[in-house]
Amino acid sequence: MKFTVRDQFYVDGQPIKLISGAIHYFRSTPGKWHQALHNLRAMGGNTVETYIPWNLHEPEPGKFNFSGIADLTQFIELAAAEGLYVILRPGPYICAEWEFGGYPYWLLNRTKRVRSRDPQYMQAVADYFAVLLPKLAPYQTTQGGPVIMMQVENEYGSYGNDKAYLVEHAALMRRYGIDVPLFTADGGWLPMIAAGNLVSAGLIPTLTFGSQARESFGELDKLMAAAYPGVPYPKMSMEFWDGWFNNWGKPAVQRDVAETAREVRAVLEEGSINLYMFHGGTNFGFMNGANFSDQDGYKPQVTAYDYDGPMTEDANPTAKFGALRAVIQDMGLADELPDPIVTQPVAYAAVPVAQRVALFNTLATLAPEPVVSDRTLTMEELGQAYGYVVYESVDPIRAGESRLNIEDSTDRIQVFKNHQWLATREYDPASWHTTLQVTESDTHLQLLAENQGRINYGPAMISPMQHRGIRGGVRQDGAYIANWRHYSLPLADPAGIDFSQDWAPGQPAFYQFQFSIEGTPKDTFIDVTGLGKGVIFVNGFNIGRFWEIGPDLTMYVPFDLLHAGRNDVVVFETEGREVSTLRFSDHAIKIKEEANSDE
């Protein structure tokens, strides 16, 4: 099969409209990949697109991961078996509402400016590409595989205009064996397209937008006519936003089905499309990103990433699936289509808590070697990527009434006095303070800092805000408190929890539940109503964060995280809520807003 690009996309010399859907392998589990890929084909898609997150594949410098949920080549092979072409977007910056835009945390210790020609940054990119790209090269159409195109960087025109930076990235990709067509993707606004395209180096310009296809492509036409007259180019929305992501405490965003279908038809009348997202999936673990603006402040994204797209978080068709399938068939862009795979989650029986322990009573086993410093250290200084840090004052706090200030932190911080909750600091760009009453001579402070997700978009990507933990120290009546123990709690898994220790009311705590499954496990959802805030582990796997403010009141558990027989669930709850029972649901429960419609 020969894939070429001129004024259109061509396969073996015949023009083709790419009908692609975004499925992020890293936001699903391997057992669900087949269902999602098959259902893309069943909707009428002929291509699957995915980002590639650097922080998943190189979590620590020189330590690579391509197994389990990170088995990208298996995902590509499954796509090929389903008869789909593949578009890859290796970044290294991906945005994607993903932690730090896909960058590994350790870059913050290595370079002062990502997305630049800083030599240390570019060397790190080169070292990563030297491992990643040779794994992907055999899957290119030029070598008999399904990969038809790859992207250089990502929406760079909304960030910078350094064309030399883009040229270096393209050259790195070519150096490590990538010879399929390369493309850029930028917002459908002339200044963004002008800043982010690399047509001069032979790259295909594609656009990202969610409506007004003719107007957006018209912006591209203007640029090409003015800067590259006579150069042929196809039209493709590399991201057509068929929904949107969600933030904590806001109703789940919905986009009207009929309006979405009309806009998709408009894109296909002009050219090709990639639905972002087709199957959104889940931000497992601590991998949700965050946005920041001077107006709205710091806003982390939620665990569920279903995006209100054509597929639910558990890979089942939504009303949009049927509407878009009808558009594709009505336009004569697909032959007879297979039926989608539809699975039915189950609500397992509720189970009582089996064991529980207060966080402060098991710190010694979770972090047996706390780091002691005369000042508060950031997560990056501690060599910690994600999760939580407990800061504990080594020396007793001065008695009497005083003002306690926490300086310069993007984290959510809970303040405890001798393990008793005192106050909670949400993100505050200024110095935050509370009143401290100390009557006992041996009084110590404990500060539980939660990294709620690094910023994934915009100029704040390179700000000091990306360093997590307490950056500026803690003051009592203006004087910096010296000497702190730092307990790192990355919580990659629940190992190290000592449930033989005591539980205490009103404190952060771990709760263990056990339930048994007879026969083949099914997808399910954990009901988090009333649980407060925290994270949940299912058989050692961190399925993500929960927070009672919503919009998601359940957490998705894919069937392949479960097994026949005994299953273990550990809930880490940070607000001091007593968790006595674990309940399940057979469907996602959300706080929803009214659907947006132009009707």
Overall fold of domain 351-355+499-585: Jelly Rolls (2.60.120)
- The residue behind tokens 């009557």 is 439
- pLDDT tens digits along 145-175: 999 999 999 999 999 999 999 999 999 999 9
pLDDT of residue 114 exceeding 80: yes
Q: Which residues pair with 208 in a beta bridge?
A: 187, 239
- pLDDT tens digits along 437-468: 999 999 999 999 999 999 999 999 999 999 99
Choices 2.60.40.2310, 3.10.20.30, 3.40.640.10, 3.20.20.80: CATH for 12-74+106-330: 3.20.20.80
pLDDT of residue 121 exceeding 50: yes
Q: Say which residues have a Cβ less than 8 Å from residue 296's Cβ, sequence separation at least 6.
A: none
pLDDT of residue 596 exceeding 60: no
Domains 351-355+499-585 and 363-489 share a fold: yes
Three-class SS state of 538:
strand
Calculate mean pLDDT across residues 563-582: 98
pLDDT of residue 266 exceeding 80: yes
pLDDT of residue 49 exceeding 80: yes
**pLDDT of res. 87:** 99
Which secondary-structure segment (H or E) carries 555?
Answer: strand 554-557
- pLDDT tens digits along 214-247: 999 999 999 999 999 999 999 999 999 999 999 9
Helices (H), ranges, 176-280: 190-196, 213-227, 257-270
d(CA 204, CA 444) in angstroms, rounded, equals 60
Q: How far is CA 536 from CA 421, 509, 541, 557, in A?
A: 22, 12, 8, 10
Written as one string, the DSSP assignment of 121-188 is HHHHHHHHHHHHHHHHGGGBGGGTSSEEEEE-SSSGGGT---HHHHHHHHHHHHHTT--S-EEEEEES
Calculate mean pLDDT across residues 114-132: 98
Task: Characterise 99 by phi-psi region: left (phi > 0), alpha (psi -120 to 50), beta (else).
Answer: beta
**Full strand arrangement of the beta sheet holding 445-450:** 371-373, 484-489, 388-393, 445-450, 412-417, 420-425
**pLDDT of res. 540:** 98
Query: CB atoms < 10 A from the CB of 124, how many?
Result: 22
- pLDDT tens digits along 366-385: 999 999 999 999 999 999 99
Average model confidence (pLDDT) across the chain: 97
592 or 267: which carries more pLDDT confidence? 267
Contact 17, 272 (CB under 8 A): yes
The CATH H-level (homologous superfamily) assignment of domain 363-489 is Galactose-binding domain-like (2.60.120.260)
Residue at 509: amino acid letter: A
Calculate mean pLDDT across residues 410-415: 98
Token duo for residue 179: 């010879």
Contact 273, 19 (CB under 8 A): yes
Could you tell me the residue ranges of all domains in the chain?
12-74+106-330, 351-355+499-585, 363-489
**pLDDT of res. 599:** 34
Contact 54, 99 (CB under 8 A): no
pLDDT of residue 308 exceeding 90: yes
pLDDT of residue 57 exceeding 90: yes
d(CA 480, CA 473) in angstroms, rounded, equals 7
Query: Of 296, 361, 284, 349, whose CA–CA distance to 557 is shortest?
Result: 284
pLDDT of residue 93 exceeding 80: yes
* ∠ CA 157-161-163, rounded to 5°: 110
Q: Tell how far CA 396 is from the center of its chain.
A: 40
Instruction: Return the DSSP state at 203.
Output: P
* ∠ CA 572-412-418, rounded to 5°: 70
Calculate mean pLDDT across residues 379-393: 98
- pLDDT tens digits along 183-194: 999 999 999 999
d(CA 453, CA 159) in angstroms, rounded, equals 20
Taking 3-state DSSP, the helix, strand and coil percentages for the chain, each rounded to the nearest 5, stand at 25, 30, 45
* ∠ CA 388-468-508, rounded to 5°: 20
Q: Say which residues have a Cβ less than 8 Å from residue 437's Cβ, sequence separation at least 6.
A: 400, 401
Q: What phi and psi, each to the nearest 5 degrees, are found at residue 95?
A: 60, -100
Instruction: Return the DSSP state at 455.
Output: B
Which secondary-structure segment (H or E) carries 135?
Answer: helix 119-136
Token duo for residue 236: 């493709």
Contact 588, 536 (CB under 8 A): no
Catalytic (active-site) positions: 155, 239
**pLDDT of res. 316:** 98
Query: Of 239, 237, 240, 201, whose CA–CA distance to 220 is shortest?
Result: 237
**pLDDT of res. 594:** 56
